[in-house]
Structure 1
Amino acid sequence: MIVNILEKDVSILRELAMETFADTFGESIKDEDLQTYFATDLSLDTLSLELRNPESQYYFILVDHQPVGFVKVNQGSAQTEQELDNAFEIQRLYVKKGYQGLGLGKKLFEFVLDLAKASGCDWVWLGVWEHNYKAQAFYTKYGFEKFSQHEFITGETVDIDWLLRRPLK
């Protein structure tokens, strides 16, 4: 089941976001930089502001009524980049390590693709780490193509994210 995340759920969101981010990138980022990222980008205050932004939405995917993954989407000025006109961004999509391989990420991704189609936007786009080949292959299957890149800064660690897009019309 996929449910909208409300501001009252911010602590649960933060714990899940920190766990899944550390599982995904922890081996390539210094612990000090990881902790800085948690204290800034994933702080309770930052996440609460994002949950109150009408141009952003967060959703949990639940298994046995427990959140095991989440996604964040943005439109308008909430997007992390403004390179495309009338676009819908999939900013974060994570599933807990123990629940990967069960099709939950695919279900969450297809859910937000449906949201994107219903949004009236011309484009759906996302950023993916240049070394995350598994995710790149997944997005390519859905017709996404690279159109740009940007730096993803975590403390002193600077990574490159490829920006992938797909037309919605």
Structure 2
Amino acid sequence: MSSIMINKADLNDLEILQSLGRETFYETFSAHNSEEEMQHYLDKSFASEKLTAEINHPESQFFIAWEEDLPVGYLKVNSGKAQTELQNETSLEIERIYVKSSYHGKKVGQVLYEKALEVAQEENKKYIWLGVWEENLRAVNFYKKNGFIQFDTHIFKLGNEEQIDLMMKKTLH
């Protein structure tokens, strides 16, 4: 495998982010949810207007992982008021790290995570946090391996389905 490059995304990358977001979310969660709920969530969450607003938010940043000219994963981090919860000025939220399933096990998620860590350090954050579905053991174990500990839970709604996310954080030095 050639090396993975990480580039900051902007509005010019809207269609790439929509495609990556829809594909990777579907790959990750479709086996556990109805097709109808999945399509509703994807249509709502990756609508052009919603994604444009997220990209334009001054306290959110998107990064795309590329293998040559192929986008293979992406990262979204939030600080300040862009955070989905906590909204502490000393924290950075990893809202999304998604990698195409064909690239699982190839360290793309690790490279994206390290980019989030770099952003947190550049912004002098005290800790980094995220929510991860309790049944996504691959992701839970990934974060544990990277030093995250669970501190709470919250409900994530996918359509009418309520799912439990583990709230995890890592204190930075």
Relative to the length of structure 2, the TM-score reads 0.93
Match of 1:12 in 2: 16
How big is the shift at 1:85? 5.2
Q: Is the 8 A contact 1:30 1:157 kept in 2?
A: no
Match of 1:145 in 2: 149
1:60-99 counterparts in 2 under 5 A?
A: 60-82=64-86, 84=88, 86-99=90-103
- AA aligned opposite 1:12: I
How big is the shift at 1:132? 1.4
Instruction: Return structure 1 stretches of 4+ with deviation > 6 angstroms.
Output: none
Match of 2:31 in 1: 27
Match of 2:172 in 1: 168
Taking a change above 3 Å as real, the CA distance of residues 5 and 55 of structure 1, as seen in their structure-2 partners, is: same
Share of identical aligned residues, percent? Answer: 38
1:107-146 counterparts in 2 under 5 A?
A: 107-146=111-150
For the residue of structure 2 that corresponds to 1:102, the secondary structure is coil
Structure 1 residues not aligned, in runs of 5+: none
Distance of 1:77 and 1:83 partners within structure 2: 5
How big is the shift at 1:118? 1.6
Aligned length: 169
Q: Is the 8 A contact 2:79 2:87 kept in 1?
A: no
State which of 98, 102, 107 in structure 2 corresponds to 1:103. 107
Distance of 2:103 and 2:141 partners within structure 1: 20
Q: After superposition, give the CA deviation of every residue in 1:118-151 in whole Å (9 maximum; x if it has no partner).
A: 2111110011111112211211122111111111
Structure 2 residues not aligned, in runs of 5+: none
Bigger Cα displacement from structure 2, 77-86 vs 10-19: 77-86
CA-atom RMSD in angstroms? 1.2
